[in-house]
Chains A and B, each alone.
Chain A
Amino acid sequence: MKLTLRVWRQKNADADGAMSTYEVDGISPDMSFLEMLDTLNEELILKGEDPVAFDHDCREGICGACSLVINGDAHGPERTTTCQLHMRSFSDGDTIDVEPWRASAFPVVKDLVVDRSAFDRIIQAGGYVTAPTGSAPEAHATPVPKPDADLAFEHAECIGCGACVAACPNGAAMLFTSAKINHLNVLPQGAPERETRVLDMVAQMDEEGFGGCTLAGECATACPKGIPLTSITGMNKEWLRATRKAGKR
């Protein structure tokens, strides 16, 4: 396959960026999208040009590092991570736009690499169970109903890639934040910190400059792990409950 790529190039966080055009040839439909970019980069290096910087690591769809907006869609046309997108999803002669995540809370570091440390700070605000090593009771002491465990797992699948933010017209991080809150709040182990967790994480999310939710639903459509939009409803319920309870105290 022969393709035309229009790629966002930006030297560093302070520099202005622009789209640059490249031609790539000899692309196999079995290549992953990132392997196609590898091919481009090998050519650029030999020409003495700066290769395109992009985040990637496991290349099996689980680490959440890869993060490209392809033809306007976070992670491209399939519902998967960029690393699991294959060139057979494109046709010979296509022109493909490749951009970084666009959100004010995710500043560009270089080219297609963005800074997602805001996500880490949201987790630090309360996305955990306080269970210091050595303090744990016997694992079977508290049975957890299977439907609850399954529900917790569905939300815990979030890989923290940020596609939800990139897809949202408001740059909101509601789906990311709600996934963690739902994961932990549904379990008995997460119950003691249920209220502080939702209040603190939502406050941190707002402080990081993420937008608000207008139920556009783009986040859940872009999510490679299928975190459902109802996750946000669940978080809002938890937040209301915690706020009212705090008011009574």
Chain B
Amino acid sequence: MTSYADYRTGGRIADTKAPAGPIHERWDKRRFEAKLVNPANRRKQTVIVVGTGLAGGSAGATLAEQGYRVVQFCYQDSPRRAHSIAAQGGINAAKNYRNDGDSIHRLFYDTVKGGDFRSRESNVHRLAEISVEIIDQCVAQGVPFAREYGGLLDTRSFGGVQVSRTFYARGQTGQQLLLGAYQALSRQIAAGNVEMHPRTEMLDLIVVDGRARGIVARDLVTGKIDTYFADAVVLATGGYGNVFYLSTNAMNSNATAVWRAHRRGAYFANPCFTQIHPTCIPRTGDHQSKLTLMSESLRNDGRIWVPKAKGDTRPPAQIPEDERDYYLERIYPSFGNLVPRDIASRAAKNVCDEGRGVGPGGQGVYLDFADAIERMGRGAVEAKYGNLFDMYQRITDEDPYRVPMRIYPAVHYTMGGLWVDYDLQTTIPGLFAIGEANFSDHGANRLGASALMQGLADGYFVLPATVNDYLARNPHKDEVDSGHPAVQEVLAETEDRLNLLLSVDGDRTPDSFHRELGELMWEFCGMARNETGLHKALERIPQIREEFWRRIKVPGTGEELNQSLEKANRIVDYLELAELMCLDALHRTESCGGHFREESQSPEGEAERKDQEFGYAAAWEFTGTGTAPTLHKEDLVFEYVHPTQRSYA
């Protein structure tokens, strides 16, 4: 056992902000109890927002509309490019426009169940309540959702849900919602209410007298490292899927902001809860830099299969019907190809591990549209999925209308993140985390079309209400003194770190380390985890870290646009976060949602939860690089949706 795995269990934590009482009254109650800031005083209060995706963009715009002074950052050249833009499928809302039995309570129920009973009921219910307002808001902004001929909004069913509650804009829902938020933000930038810093990356958090009071950020063009001060700081910096090197995340999405906040005292919750998406395009070789997801709406009409026989290398058309195994339809007859993401991904891994995978390296399964084309006609399939088929053909050079697509699971989303209370405040007063950066709403597995919903719920509606309360209780008194030792220390640490990266002058590139770490994590902390593998990873990570600081090579200087330096600095944080992910996965000896421990499964190979032992959120406290962290448990109480073993058979 490594000393890092010798963690200590500290005091339990409680969410002190969630009101008691009937669940549907809690959000109203909290908003009423929250203190308000006099509109005249809002201009004096500054809020820093880091990130401009759905959560950050909507939060920045809304806080500015309320009258706060917002200072906002993104590493991209424009706030319009945050990776929310790549979300394809849609956004859930309990509008019940279809009259198909949907309701706020059903969306709440589905989300808690889909999350495998590892999320917080109060938060999830609030999310379901707000979902209906999000659609209204986005339509008012001019988001061109799909419509029916009568002019009303169209919806579809999505990812393991039996009602049609998913609103969409062809395969580009994320893009359209993000542009809506970006345009609202642009209006506030023009009005002078938001000071926008593009191409500027947060490198650390400034905590003064126990409160978050600012950030250290680097201008990526000039290389200048500067401090920015505020009365509250909001992190909307997304997830940490890029720890795995290959994922569906954008190339520059990273974990530095959340990890640096964690190092400064914010607890990190459920880091091992990562989502592997079942319908991605398989990799073609070692040069692969990222993986591309195709909307899982494809599973509505495509049939997933592999050959029955191992090592069958015949082209798919030559494999007769009775020699094909439509394994999802066979194992899960009632949900079939529409089982939740974690189940579909694991089933694909299992058949490939058996040697029945297809394509290069046997790392793929077929997603076949032949039946759909015969049933609906090619035209209908084209109308529904045309853009996805085109994308597939462009990447693979194969025609999915004639040859079945090949798909394989890939890292897509991280349910874990900074621990936040009902107000979305972290354990550092004045530091808030929203969107994928926090942990609260999706438990151990996120349902399709729920990420967009959560990002916008947090940014448009939740945070602007709760940050009020914090600012009212902590009114602006004085500016932070830039000479304060706490500020100088963070600044010096950041500069030293970058200088060190530039001075090692070793013989390995940043990417080579990132790839090595990613392969290790995919093997031992990916779709299936076990004790031996996790110990192996925990032994290996500190060695990679040591080698990194000995052999890293970063050309150029810190006083210029230096993309190698940016990469290397992000890897420094991945090399610590990866260790915590493995420890979290090791300590949770149950299987739940995206976290599958091989030791905890039924004789049929289904995941087995252990509610008595693990019915809590694991919030980790940082104690030092490579030293064992402290575990704080937040007990999860289920008053409305009673835990049952998920069954999709």
Contact = CB atoms under 8 A, between A and B. Distances in A.
B199 to A, nearest CB: 8
Given A30-B284, A57-B252, A61-B391, A183 B184 contact: no
Contacts of A16: none
Interface stretch (B77-85, B304-312, B344-352, B528-536): B77-85
Interface in A63-83: 63-65, 78, 80
Interface in A117-132: 117, 119-120, 123-125, 127-132
Contacts of B553: 45-46, 48
Interface stretch (B21-29, B136-144, B363-371): B136-144
Contacts of B175: 62, 157, 159
Interface in B560-581: 560-561, 563-564
B627 interface: no
Interface residues of A, number: 78
A51 B288 CA distance: 19
Given A45-B555, A113-B561, A59 B77 contact: no
Contact of B140 (A34, A50, A136): A136
A39 B287 contact: yes
Given A120-B78, A187-B142, A12 B152 contact: no
A225 B95 CA distance: 31
B391 A156 contact: no
A177 interface: no
Interface string A81-110: 000101010000000000000000000011
A57 B78 contact: no
A131 B83 CA distance: 24
Contacts, number: 219
Contacts of B169: 153, 156
Contacts of B157: none
Contact of A123 (B62, B182, B248, B289): B182
A50 B198 contact: no
Interface string B485-511: 000000000000000000000010111
A48 B555 contact: yes
Nearest to A43: B509
Given A55-B77, A63-B81, A124-B190, A136 B133 contact: yes
Interface string B364-396: 000000000000000000000000000100110
B153 interface: yes
Instruction: Pick the 6 closest A-B CB pairs, nearest first.
Output: A143-B151, A128-B183, A136-B140, A124-B190, A131-B140, A153-B144
17 contacts: A38-B287, A42-B511, A58-B251, A59-B250, A59-B289, A59-B292, A60-B86, A62-B175, A115-B77, A117-B198, A128-B187, A133-B65, A143-B147, A146-B147, A149-B145, A149-B147, A189-B141
Interface of A: 11-12, 28, 30-32, 34-35, 38-39, 42, 44-46, 48-51, 53, 55-65, 78, 80, 84, 86, 88, 109-110, 113, 115-117, 119-120, 123-125, 127-140, 142-146, 149-150, 152-153, 156-157, 159-160, 183-184, 187, 189-190
Interface of B: 58, 61-62, 65, 76-81, 83, 85-86, 95, 97, 133, 135-137, 139-142, 144-153, 169-170, 172, 175-176, 179, 182-184, 186-187, 189-190, 198, 221, 248, 250-253, 284-285, 287-290, 292-293, 391, 394-395, 397, 460-461, 464, 507, 509-512, 553-556, 560-561, 563-564
